[in-house]
Amino acid sequence: MTLIRRASPWDDLFTLRRTVERLFDEDARPRFWRATFTGADPALDITTNKDELVVRASLAGWKPDDVEITLTGNTLTIAGETKAEERREEDSWILNEIRHGSFSRTLELPEGLVGERATASFEHGVLTLRIPKADEIKPKQIKISAGSAAESKPERELVGAGSGR
């Protein structure tokens, strides 16, 4: 008679627990979507087309001079700082929700962008950053020549195959 050692019923439970812990420890989003936020983070929209990547940041109430954009490699940082208005002693506040202070938002962008040709504009409280794609990652159109494969003649004919010799 052969003795078979049975695993502890607790082993499966611990394996499941480790799997669930690993699931919550890892970030499932693609790398370039991951961002670090400090302070008040502006809302972003990021779109792409065949020619460029476009980042739009909602910065209502901010002035272009108060915002700094840095692109180092594939890391984009949008940061800003503004000072609060001076408070006078004779004013009594009822509501104070307009944000002041600083913010910083850092994103890792996909490969193949040409940061040297990036442009930024600021209109109606929206910062728009356009970063062109490198030519080597842009989709290329391949034209099909009609009839070229059907019209080509073989270089030599097969001899002896079905010739009756």
Is CATH 2.30.30.40 the classification given to domain 29-84+99-137? no
- The average confidence (pLDDT) of the chain is 77
pLDDT one-digit tens code per residue, 110-137: 888 998 999 999 999 999 999 999 887 7
What is the identity of the amino acid at 107? L
**pTM > 0.85:** no
Sequence ranges of the domains in the chain: 29-84+99-137
Kindly indicate the confidence band of residue 9, based on its pLDDT and cuts at 50, 70 and 90.
Answer: low
CB-count exposure of residue 98 (10 Å: 0-12, 13-18, 19+): exposed
- Side chain identity at residue 152, one-letter code: S
